[in-house]
Amino acid sequence: MGVVYYGVKSFKKVYGPKGDVKECSFCHKAYQETYVKFNKWGHIDFIPLIPLGADYYHFCPVCFNGDKCIKEGKKEAKRIVKENTPVTTNLVPRGVHHVAEKTYDLYLDDKNSGESFPISTGMKKSDYKALKKNRFYKKIEEVDA
């Protein structure tokens, strides 16, 4: 007898900053919203077989405050993503490793305005790695302090 594994798996695709520049109601910075699409698939033995739909999320690239797009918003998100608007923000993540304290800081540097936004400071290595993953950062320039 064999064991059959089944369930639902979600695949994410980050589209990056798209659409018009808007002011965030939480951090009051004006940037293009970032869009992420999550495709849900039913799987058997870890092989995706049945598409179960997709969800779109939009959020501020600085503070990550955002919402799930519902019905009309989902259609609008699809339209905005298809337009392939050029990226007007140049937000670059930067990590600072404090060797003596064994802590990490994460900053966003805006190459257009020259501003630097602290995202989180004084983190342990595991928290730093989890934050990088949750914010969809694959490569971060890290500096030892």
Question: How big is the CA angle at 41 (ends 39 and 43), to the nearest 5 degrees?
Answer: 155
pLDDT exceeds 70 at position 34: yes
What tokens does 38 get? 């999550």
Check residue 87 and report its DSSP letter. Answer: P
HSE-CB of 61 using CA atoms within 13 angstroms = 27
Residues 66/76, Cβ–Cβ less than 8 Å: no
Q: Please compute the mean of the pLDDT values over residues 25-46 and round it to a whole number.
A: 88
Q: Which pLDDT tens digit goes with each residue over 91-110?
A: 888 899 998 889 999 988 88
> Which residue in 41, 47, 57 sits closest to 135, CA to CA?
57
